[in-house]
């Protein structure tokens, strides 16, 4: 072995181990002039490039469409919104930098963050700077912060009714698969709690998988061996998509039902096609071609190729709720807008009416059960609730009573 070979070995090993840490930093300065009279600056921070762009791009599209929609309808307080669109490049370090910039900017509101890790990196920054912040994607629940509004779904709005429905169908032997980070881990402990409540038994798992895992060959026989009649999948991301493919390839999907609160978040139903047939999820809204709601109309008119994701729906609802609250308050002042949002401002979103629970700052939204038809779309099975409440958060968090509460509760 010559020297260059040895260097290559060392270099390759170093690369292989640090590949996931690799990142490029970059900053762009696109602040809006504070004196520009007839406009209101707002900021969005999302993962628009890099591994998380699979979630971020649809949310970015929804952000732009929302701003356009609001502006076309006369803006807010007669002023046009001007969006500063920041890309965190799937890197938490960028989030912190961009959030610090946004916190000291004149933006009236900041929306963004996708993974829970990124949210927890930036939420304290906005809290400290008194900069109103919205988080608009499904998550593990529990955030309690006067300065933050959560438009995404929580486990007891989504996972709980999904599992209650499954138990009511007589499916009581559950096998749990989960992504190995805080969303998967916290949600998995919720599954255990819901199993106890519904008289179901966890016959296998929770098995945790790093996001880079893409081979599930050894897990499939374990599930088969466990005698499970229901697989609860808390899997996330393109690597984990392979579980559904590898499971379907064995033909076992005929005998076992899969429910997944995270399914559809990254347009899994499109990627899987026939391999996804029969998988069930719970969301307020899933896209179908030709739907006549405002979001689908805007989406189709803009000619966006990727489908509407649940994160895009939450983002659309959040911007419209914020705009309605500003109209109601007559100002963009944080405390007045917060009061308006707590006062029950509602928006008639693509799936129905959405409002914020004043006590927890979490969205109260309609929740439906959907089933993958194998054609790239989910079909409505039934409406589970027309106003799903964040009950766990309500049991721990009361921002009306105690505005100084600032933490994330876990089960």
Report if residue 303 touches another protein, rule: CB under 8 A. Answer: no
H-helix segments, 250-309: 268-272, 294-301
Stretch that binds another protein, among 93-101, 137-145, 234-242, 343-351 (CB under 8 A): 234-242
Are 361 and 150 in contact, with CB atoms under 8 Å apart? Answer: yes
β-pairing verdict for 148-150 and 133-135: parallel
Indicate the residue among 11 and 38 with the shorter CB distance to another protein.
11
C-alpha 249/C-alpha 276 separation (Å) is: 11
State the nearest-atom distance from the C-beta of 307 to another protein, in Å.
Answer: 8
Stretch that binds another protein, among 11-19, 123-131, 317-325, 399-407 (CB under 8 A): 11-19
Report if residue 212 touches another protein, rule: CB under 8 A. Answer: yes
Q: Which of 154, 118, 147 is nearest to 395 (CA)?
A: 154
Window 38 to 97, contacts with another protein (CB under 8 A): 49-51, 53-54, 56-58
Which of 71, 189, 207, 226 is close enough to bind another protein by CB under 8 A? Answer: 207
Q: Is the backbone of residue 361 left (phi > 0), alpha (psi -120 to 50) or beta? A: left
> What is the enclosing helix (H) or strand (E) of 131?
none
Which of 59, 99, 186, 267 is close enough to bind another protein by CB under 8 A? Answer: 267
**Beta-bridge partner residues of 406:** 145
Count, residues near another protein per rule CB under 8 A: 66
159 token code pair: 């996972």
Report if residue 366 touches another protein, rule: CB under 8 A. Answer: no
Indicate the residue among 305 and 401 with the shorter CB distance to another protein.
305
**Beta-bridge partner residues of 80:** 39
C-alpha 266/C-alpha 282 separation (Å) is: 14
SS3 label, residue 350: coil
Stretch that binds another protein, among 124-132, 164-172, 264-272, 310-318 (CB under 8 A): 264-272
Report if residue 28 touches another protein, rule: CB under 8 A. Answer: no
Report if residue 383 touches another protein, rule: CB under 8 A. Answer: no
Taking the alpha carbons at both ends of the chain, their separation in whole angstroms is 55
Q: Which residue has the tokens 């049991």?
A: 395
Window 147 to 186, contacts with another protein (CB under 8 A): 180
Are 142 and 396 in contact, with CB atoms under 8 Å apart? Answer: yes
Report if residue 32 touches another protein, rule: CB under 8 A. Answer: no
Report if residue 215 touches another protein, rule: CB under 8 A. Answer: yes
Report if residue 246 touches another protein, rule: CB under 8 A. Answer: yes
C-alpha 235/C-alpha 252 separation (Å) is: 18
Indicate the residue among 20 and 128 with the shorter CB distance to another protein.
20
Indicate the residue among 99 and 241 with the shorter CB distance to another protein.
241
Which of 226, 245, 387, 396 is close enough to bind another protein by CB under 8 A? Answer: 245
C-alpha 356/C-alpha 370 separation (Å) is: 24
Report if residue 273 touches another protein, rule: CB under 8 A. Answer: yes
H-helix segments, 51-203: 53-72, 92-104, 116-129, 155-168, 182-197
Indicate the residue among 210 and 379 with the shorter CB distance to another protein.
210
Report if residue 12 touches another protein, rule: CB under 8 A. Answer: yes
Report if residue 226 touches another protein, rule: CB under 8 A. Answer: no
Report if residue 242 touches another protein, rule: CB under 8 A. Answer: yes
Indicate the residue among 155 and 204 with the shorter CB distance to another protein.
204
229 token code pair: 């009649």
Q: Which of 159, 230, 153 is nearest to 191 (CA)?
A: 159
Per CB under 8 A, residues contacting another protein are 1-2, 4-9, 11-13, 15-17, 19-20, 24, 49-51, 53-54, 56-58, 180, 207-210, 212-215, 217-222, 224-225, 238-242, 245-246, 248-252, 266-268, 270-275, 305-307
């Amino acid at each position: 072995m010559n020297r260059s070979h040895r260097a290559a070995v060392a270099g390759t090993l170093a690369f292989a181990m640090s590949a996931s840490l690799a990142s490029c930093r970059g900053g762009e300065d696109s602040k809006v002039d504070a004196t520009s009279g007839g406009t209101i600056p707002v900021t969005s921070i999302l993962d628009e490039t890099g591994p998380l762009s699979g979630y971020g791009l649809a949310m970015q599209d929804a952000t732009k469409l929302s701003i356009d929609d609001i502006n076309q309808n006369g803006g807010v307080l007669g002023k046009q919104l001007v969006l500063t669109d920041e890309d965190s490049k799937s890197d938490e370090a960028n989030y912190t930098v961009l959030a610090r910039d946004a916190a000291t900017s004149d933006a009236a509101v900041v929306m963004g963050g996708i993974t829970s890790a990124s949210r927890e990196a930036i939420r304290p920054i906005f809290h400290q700077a008194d900069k109103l912040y919205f988080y608009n994607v499904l998550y593990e629940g529990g955030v309690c912060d006067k300065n933050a509004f959560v438009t995404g779904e929580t486990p007891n709005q989504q996972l709980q009714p999904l599992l209650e429905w499954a138990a009511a169908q007589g499916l009581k032997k559950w096998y749990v698969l989960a992504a190995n980070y805080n969303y998967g881990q916290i949600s998995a402990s919720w599954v255990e709690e819901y199993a106890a409540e519904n008289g179901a038994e966890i016959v296998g798992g929770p098995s945790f998988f790093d996001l880079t895992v893409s081979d599930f060959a050894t897990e499939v026989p374990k599930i088969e061996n466990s005698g499970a009649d229901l697989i609860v999948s808390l899997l996330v991301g393109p690597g984990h998509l392979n579980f559904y493919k590898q499971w379907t390839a064995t033909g076992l999907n005929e005998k076992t039902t899969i429910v997944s609160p995270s399914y559809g978040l990254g347009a899994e139903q499109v990627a899987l096609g026939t391999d996804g047939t029969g998988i069930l999820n719970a969301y307020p809204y899933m896209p179908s071609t030709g739907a006549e709601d405002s979001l689908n109309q805007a989406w189709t008119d803009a000619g966006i190729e990727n489908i509407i994701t649940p994160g895009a729906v939450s983002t659309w609802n959040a911007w419209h709720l914020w705009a309605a609250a500003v109209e109601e308050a007559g100002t963009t002042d944080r405390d007045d807008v917060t009061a308006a949002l707590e006062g029950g401002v509602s928006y008639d979103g693509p799936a129905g009416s959405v409002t914020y629970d004043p006590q927890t700052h979490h969205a109260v939204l309609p929740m439906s059960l959907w089933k993958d038809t194998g054609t790239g779309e989910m079909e409505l099975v039934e409406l589970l609730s027309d106003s799903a409440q964040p009950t766990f958060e309500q049991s721990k968090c009361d921002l009306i009573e105690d505005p100084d509460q600032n933490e994330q509760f876990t089960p």
